[in-house]
């Protein structure tokens, strides 16, 4: 996917330069049509390699280097680790926005809510990635169950819908399983198995990639958590992710992280004011520039 992002950036910049030297409606129309065709091809072809890859959601996840499957304060548990649904006992509604590498229109949107029904923690979530030419939509619902004070297990049922303009619209189903276990007051371990059925999608019957993650969290202080996740996706190498979260006071938490495989550096902060929480995350890639993420949460 990253190679396609790079190519799109180059094409976009070159087309911008061209339009500075030539004016008129014909050139603008040609530019739009050429961009449309190229982007449609890129996104369609990328389906073979990275459609519905696990992107995660939330400022804590993004600012922590993509780690956090054992972090009980992580938001959007339905998209990160369903075992943590309701882990902090909070009923909430969350919204998250992420732009990829400052590319206009290449965005991720998430809506997510957690609540309790008959004492069972439940969650419902929506994620959309892409633009009008290419869009991946996920609708999820999940729950977690506490087998003991130490062991949490969760499941997420997922509907995937793929739209490629003038080419196809298709859907498929899968599910994720998550686990979190407290070894002690300071150490927790967890695991997530995503897209367990590796369902087929599109007329080409391409399989969506399976994904497996192991996580470890260490809390040396009540105000600090140190995280490490190891992620393995089909046909890709192991991805090592690290994050640190530090609560400065009652209303401010600062975060940082890195992803070793892709040399990503991340940082962010979260603010809590009564029933509202908001946050910002920044991801820096040495070749592809910056990603920005914003989140707002309401507790009820």
Would you give the distance in Å from CA 264 to the centre of its chain?
15
Residue 177 near residue 192, CB atoms below 8 Å: yes
Same domain, 9 and 105: no
Local structure of 148: helix, strand or coil: coil
Same domain, 31 and 79: no
User: What confidence tens digit (pLDDT) does each residue in 167-185 have?
Assistant: 888 899 999 999 999 999 9
Contact residues for 161 (Cβ-Cβ < 8 A; gap 6+): 136, 137, 138, 139, 169, 170, 171
77 has pLDDT over 60: yes
Same domain, 11 and 139: no
Please give the tally of structural domains in the chain. Answer: 2
CB atoms closer than 10 angstroms to residue 68: 33
Contact residues for 249 (Cβ-Cβ < 8 A; gap 6+): none
Domain range for 269 is 51-299
Same domain, 80 and 15: no
* pLDDT for residue 51: 64
Residue 165 near residue 40, CB atoms below 8 Å: yes
* pLDDT for residue 24: 38
Same domain, 40 and 80: no
Residue 271 near residue 279, CB atoms below 8 Å: yes
281 has pLDDT over 80: yes
Average pLDDT, the chain: 83
Q: How confident is the model at residue 89 (pLDDT cuts 50, 70, 90)?
A: low
Task: Check which CATH number belongs to the domain holding 290 and give it.
Answer: 2.40.160.40
In angstroms, the Cα distances linking 194 to 6, 138, 154, 215 are: 27, 13, 12, 14
* 175-202 exposure pattern, b = at least 16 Cβ within 10 A, e = fewer: bbbbbbbbeeeeebebbbebbeeebebb
- Which region among 80-89, 200-209, 253-262 has the lowest average model confidence (pLDDT)? 200-209
Same domain, 130 and 277: yes
* pLDDT for residue 121: 92
- Which region among 28-37, 56-65, 212-221 has the lowest average model confidence (pLDDT)? 28-37
What is the average per-residue pLDDT within 194-215?
83
State what percent of residues in the chain have pLDDT above 90: 55
Contact residues for 10 (Cβ-Cβ < 8 A; gap 6+): none
Same domain, 132 and 269: yes
Same domain, 22 and 117: no
Same domain, 74 and 222: yes
86 has pLDDT over 50: yes
7 has pLDDT over 80: no
Paired tokens of 282: 């920044």
Looking at residue 83, the DSSP 8-state letter turns out to be G
Contact residues for 261 (Cβ-Cβ < 8 A; gap 6+): 237, 238, 239, 240
Same domain, 39 and 159: no
Same domain, 184 and 70: yes
Same domain, 116 and 265: yes
Local structure of 125: helix, strand or coil: strand
* pLDDT for residue 50: 54
The residues facing 232 across adjacent strands are 212
């Amino acid at each position: 996917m990253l190679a396609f992002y790079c190519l799109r950036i180059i094409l976009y910049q070159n087309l911008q330069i061209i339009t500075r030297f030539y004016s008129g409606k014909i050139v603008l129309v040609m530019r739009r049509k050429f961009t449309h065709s190229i982007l449609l091809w890129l996104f369609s072809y990328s389906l073979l390699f990275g459609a519905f890859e696990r992107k995660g959601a939330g400022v804590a996840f993004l600012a922590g280097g993509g780690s956090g499957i054992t972090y009980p304060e992580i938001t959007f548990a339905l998209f990160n680790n369903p075992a943590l649904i309701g882990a902090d006992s909070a009923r909430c509604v969350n919204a998250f926005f992420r732009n990829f590498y400052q590319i206009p229109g290449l965005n991720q949107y998430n809506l997510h809510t957690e609540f309790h029904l008959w004492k069972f923690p439940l969650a419902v979530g929506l994620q959309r990635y892409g633009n009008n030419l290419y869009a991946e939509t996920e609708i999820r619902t999940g729950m977690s169950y506490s087998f003991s004070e130490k062991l949490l297990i969760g499941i997420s049922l997922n509907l995937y819908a793929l739209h490629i303009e003038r080419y196809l619209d298709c859907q498929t189903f899968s599910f994720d399983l998550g686990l979190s276990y407290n070894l002690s007051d300071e150490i927790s371990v967890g695991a997530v198995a995503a897209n367990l059925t590796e369902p087929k999608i599109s007329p080409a019957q391409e399989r969506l990639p399976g994904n497996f993650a192991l996580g470890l969290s260490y809390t040396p202080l009540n105000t600090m958590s140190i995280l490490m996740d190891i992620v393995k996706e089909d046909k890709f190498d192991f991805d090592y992710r690290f994050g640190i979260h530090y609560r400065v006071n009652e209303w401010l938490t600062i975060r940082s992280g890195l992803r070793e495989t892709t040399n990503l550096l991340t940082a962010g902060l979260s603010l809590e004011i009564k029933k509202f929480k908001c946050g910002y995350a920044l991801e820096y890639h040495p070749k592809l520039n910056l990603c920005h993420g914003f989140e707002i949460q309401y507790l009820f």
